[in-house]
Chains A and B, each alone.
Chain A
């Protein structure tokens, strides 16, 4: 029982007590991070915007409390499951993959990097030292100092704060675009692989036409023609990032030949039932891997488009636009370009490591 009391005091402590050290550390560290953020928010008077009076602080506060509650309850539930299972473990495909993933250093580094970016994006008001658009006109184009750890830009805006808020643009637009990639690409892949014949060749021709224009050229062309806005970025990257479709199609082609599909058909199952009950669940693994990698690609694309001036425009803080602003100071203030670029690189690296490790765990056949 003492494990439960420990877990109630500090989520993860119970796991450590029963020697589930990896899960324990994961819970304990996440709890610690959230407690620190909570303390920061309280001391800065931003929690629920009570003292700061800023409605924009409300949502991160709600998120923060929900995350704390989820972690606390989640740690207890997970501990209960572990205790019940001790001695006789059942190994399913997903639990096997999960434990394989937990043993991979690459995956741990990846998920940590992604976690940091996610925390920066979710709790940016609590974490950023300044307002990202506030101008400190006495300190223009400063190098790193104690008051501005990453320096300031040509408007005297704090670069660290802009990087923290920039995570929102990168992950927000990146995730939305990837969601559309997944749904639209997954839809094309599933119908092409499942129905084959005319549908398949139509989808494949369509993909060929889209593929024959280099991706960046296509995206810049569309965004440049229709005008750039965050919504336009999401739609364009979402509709034309069709790399997932091919992967899903080839997976579906092999899944649909499975004996359980034949059996379901023999029992008189409808196509829609087979697709949702058998084809999609069994094609999940590659979809998950491709999705993770696709977020990284989308983040680079968003940064590249903003860099060229077709994406998110200043004063909205975005990493790509910060690099563009740094361009004219390459010779006089070269440090300006370093931190935003590092932020892009580390976030994308996180997703790539995560995807790589997920692939090793879920589907080694997807080599590349």
Chain B
């Protein structure tokens, strides 16, 4: 187990390194001279040359890359537009994204899995058709539009939920205050919507695969209650693909609920990413992209480790 963990972490670092190289290459391939942009329209060639030297843009690419990474890892990298160290900018925002991601994942797990199980167990009934149809519609709805519709219905017409923002916070957490909780509803539901649909479909098809297995017949023949047969024997075996999807999604939510956070003005990392790209804030964009990649790669690793606990057939050595 320990050697497996070490190997997995090493692979993670390699993947992160490759991602950072890819991001660096894309930035360097971009049209336009960053020194010229920073200097402004009226700058003389000398000024541009000075800026280029000051920011190390006249160095060969490997050295530029090395300096960038060094600055980033030591937390010295500064945002161009916010005029602040990126580390403090990000740590402010990450709390908001984290609570949104956790709330959305909880909602996904608590709704999609029961729906998926019920649809599979009551296969080809009205219930099954409603769940499958609803989930097909669900994956076809753009999240940003869904959020807008929720805002219109609950915020503008019914006036029971606030339209945007994060509301009051306690120790930086919105979910600890009543006002913050009410602000969380629309972003959480819209962020979770597509995943609820996807995950319900996945749970259903994964359950259908195990429902005809011999060990279920054995369990029933033993006289076990149907509820126990379904939940303990069938569902545990159908859990793996569902868990993979949920795990990957946590990483995805953390890295960029860009659309949801932008529509609902939720001050998280996704919205920061949107602002950074709109303002062409290169260092901030690089850091946030790598952060998203880290979150997503880490979720893959964690999912792999959790497998071992829920499925004794999977052994790591």
A330 at interface, CB cutoff 8 A? yes
A37 at interface, CB cutoff 8 A? no
Interface residue tally on B, bucketed by range: 35 or more
- A344 contacts which chain B residues (CB < 8 A)? 142, 145
Contact A220–B258 (Cβ < 8 Å): yes
Can you name 19 A-B pairs with beta carbons within 8 Å? A209-B15, A213-B19, A213-B255, A214-B255, A214-B256, A220-B273, A221-B277, A224-B280, A304-B144, A308-B259, A308-B274, A310-B277, A323-B144, A330-B151, A330-B155, A337-B145, A352-B136, A353-B136, A368-B201
Q: How far is the CB of B40 from chain A (nearest CB, A)?
A: 19
- A225 contacts which chain B residues (CB < 8 A)? 26-27, 30, 277, 285
Q: How far is the CB of B106 from chain A (nearest CB, A)?
A: 20
Contact B15–A208 (Cβ < 8 Å): yes
Given contacts A212-B296, A344-B142, contact A221 B152 (CB under 8 A): no
Contact A214–B251 (Cβ < 8 Å): yes
Q: How far is the CB of A207 from chain B (nearest CB, A)?
A: 11
Q: How many residues of A contact B (CB 8 A)?
A: 46
Contact A352–B139 (Cβ < 8 Å): yes
Chain B residue nearest to A330 in the complex (CB) = B151
Expressed in whole angstroms, the Cα–Cα distance for A304 and B145 within the complex equals 9
Q: How far is the CB of A221 from chain B (nearest CB, A)?
A: 5
B209 at interface, CB cutoff 8 A? yes
Contact B258–A337 (Cβ < 8 Å): no
Expressed in whole angstroms, the Cα–Cα distance for A130 and B262 within the complex equals 32
Annotate B125-164 by CB proximity to A: 1 below 8 A, 0 otherwise.
Answer: 0000000000011011111110011011001110000010
Expressed in whole angstroms, the Cα–Cα distance for A227 and B252 within the complex equals 24
- B151 contacts which chain A residues (CB < 8 A)? 330
Instruction: Name the contact of B148 in the complex, choosing from A212, A341, A348 (C-beta under 8 A).
Output: A341
Q: How far is the CB of B246 from chain A (nearest CB, A)?
A: 15
Which A315-368 residues sit within 8 Å CB-CB of chain B? Answer: 320, 323, 326-327, 330-331, 334, 337-338, 340-341, 344-346, 348-349, 352-353, 356, 367-368
A93 at interface, CB cutoff 8 A? no
Contact A216–B258 (Cβ < 8 Å): yes
Q: How far is the CB of A116 from chain B (nearest CB, A)?
A: 15
- B208 contacts which chain A residues (CB < 8 A)? 367
Which A294-314 residues sit within 8 Å CB-CB of chain B? Answer: 296, 300, 303-304, 307-310
Expressed in whole angstroms, the Cα–Cα distance for A367 and B22 within the complex equals 33
Chain B residue nearest to A223 in the complex (CB) = B277
Annotate A75-94 by CB proximity to B: 1 below 8 A, 0 otherwise.
Answer: 00000000000000000000
Contact B145–A323 (Cβ < 8 Å): yes
B292 at interface, CB cutoff 8 A? yes
B278 at interface, CB cutoff 8 A? yes
A67 at interface, CB cutoff 8 A? no
- A368 contacts which chain B residues (CB < 8 A)? 201-202, 205
- B273 contacts which chain A residues (CB < 8 A)? 217, 220
Contact B148–A356 (Cβ < 8 Å): no
Contact A367–B209 (Cβ < 8 Å): yes
Chain B residue nearest to A355 in the complex (CB) = B136
A226 at interface, CB cutoff 8 A? yes
A222 at interface, CB cutoff 8 A? yes
- A205 contacts which chain B residues (CB < 8 A)? 18
Expressed in whole angstroms, the Cα–Cα distance for A225 and B29 within the complex equals 9
Which B269-303 residues sit within 8 Å CB-CB of chain A? Answer: 273-274, 277-278, 280, 285, 288-289, 292-293, 296-297, 300
Q: How far is the CB of A149 from chain B (nearest CB, A)?
A: 20
B23 at interface, CB cutoff 8 A? yes
Expressed in whole angstroms, the Cα–Cα distance for A340 and B145 within the complex equals 9
Expressed in whole angstroms, the Cα–Cα distance for A349 and B29 within the complex equals 37
Which A183-201 residues sit within 8 Å CB-CB of chain B? Answer: none
B263 at interface, CB cutoff 8 A? yes
Instruction: Name the contact of B140 in the complex, choosing from A209, A330, A345, A367 (C-beta under 8 A).
Output: A345
Given contacts A300-B142, A330-B156, contact A217 B289 (CB under 8 A): yes
Expressed in whole angstroms, the Cα–Cα distance for A303 and B263 within the complex equals 14
Contact B263–A327 (Cβ < 8 Å): yes
- A367 contacts which chain B residues (CB < 8 A)? 205, 208-209
B62 at interface, CB cutoff 8 A? no
Contact A349–B258 (Cβ < 8 Å): no
What 8 A-B pairs are tightest by C-beta distance, nearest first?
Answer: A224-B277, A341-B145, A349-B140, A348-B140, A334-B152, A217-B256, A225-B30, A209-B18
Contact A213–B292 (Cβ < 8 Å): yes
B312 at interface, CB cutoff 8 A? no
**A209-B18, A213-B19, A214-B256 given; 7 more Cβ-contact pairs under 8 Å:** A205-B18, A221-B277, A221-B285, A222-B26, A307-B144, A308-B258, A320-B142
Expressed in whole angstroms, the Cα–Cα distance for A227 and B277 within the complex equals 10
Instruction: Name the contact of A345 in the complex, choosing from B23, B145, B202 (C-beta under 8 A).
Output: B145
Contact B137–A334 (Cβ < 8 Å): no
B31 at interface, CB cutoff 8 A? yes
Expressed in whole angstroms, the Cα–Cα distance for A227 and B30 within the complex equals 9
Contact B152–A309 (Cβ < 8 Å): no
Q: How far is the CB of A302 from chain B (nearest CB, A)?
A: 10
Expressed in whole angstroms, the Cα–Cα distance for A87 and B317 within the complex equals 62
Expressed in whole angstroms, the Cα–Cα distance for A331 and B157 within the complex equals 9
Chain A residue nearest to B137 in the complex (CB) = A349
Given contacts A214-B296, A330-B152, A337-B149, contact A221 B19 (CB under 8 A): no
Contact B148–A337 (Cβ < 8 Å): yes
Instruction: Name the contact of A217 in the complex, choosing from B140, B149, B292 (C-beta under 8 A).
Output: B292
Contact A304–B277 (Cβ < 8 Å): no
Contact B258–A217 (Cβ < 8 Å): yes
Expressed in whole angstroms, the Cα–Cα distance for A86 and B56 within the complex equals 78
